[in-house]
Structure 1
Amino acid sequence: MKNGRLKIALVSSHGGHLAELMEVMDAFAPNEYFFITYHGETVADLKPAYFLKKFHDSAWGLFSIWFRVFRILRRERPDVVFSTGAEIAIPVFLVAKIFFGCKLAYLESAAQVSAPSLTGRVVYPFCDIFLVQWEGLLKKYGPNARYKGGLI
Structure 2
Amino acid sequence: MKVCLVGSSGGHLTHLYMLKKFWDDKDRFWVTFNKEDAKSLLKDERMYPCYFPTNRNFINLVKNTILAWKILKKEKPDLIISSGAAVAVPFFYIGKLFFHTKNVYIEVFDRVDSPTLTGKMVYPVADKFILQWEELKKIYPKAINLGSLF
TM-score by length of 2: 0.90
Does the 8 A contact of 1:55 with 1:65 survive in 2? no
- Equivalent residues, number: 146
Does the 8 A contact of 2:61 with 2:87 survive in 1? no
Q: How does 1:26-65 map to 2 (within 5 A)?
A: 26-45=21-40, 46=42, 47-54=45-52, 56=54, 59-65=58-64
Structure 2, unaligned runs of 5 or more: none
- Measure, in 2, the Cα distance between the counterparts of 1:58 and 1:111: 23
Does the 8 A contact of 2:51 with 2:63 survive in 1? no
Residue 23 of structure 2 aligns to which amino acid in structure 1?
Answer: F
Instruction: Give the C-alpha shift of residue 61 in structure 1.
Output: 3.0
Aligned to 2:114: 115
Match of 2:149 among 144, 148, 151: 151
- Shift in CA distance, 72/134, structure 1 to aligned 2, threshold 3 Å: same
- Shift in CA distance, 66/145, structure 1 to aligned 2, threshold 3 Å: same
Residue 87 of structure 1 aligns to which amino acid in structure 2?
Answer: A
Instruction: Give the C-alpha shift of residue 151 in structure 1.
Output: 2.0
- Shift in CA distance, 73/55, structure 1 to aligned 2, threshold 3 Å: farther
Residue 132 (structure 1) aligned with residue 127 (structure 2): no
Structure 1, unaligned runs of 5 or more: 1-5
- Measure, in 1, the Cα distance between the counterparts of 2:11 and 2:113: 18
Match of 2:12 among 8, 17, 23: 17
TM-score by length of 1: 0.89
Which segment drifts farther, 100-109 or 33-42? Answer: 33-42
Aligned to 2:70: 71
Aligned to 2:80: 81
Identical positions, percent? 35
Aligned to 1:3: none
Instruction: Give the C-alpha shift of residue 64 in structure 1.
Output: 2.5
Spell out, residue by residue over 1:56-113, the C-alpha distance to the aligned partner (whole angstroms, 9 max, x if none).
4865433222111101011100000000111111111111111101000001100101
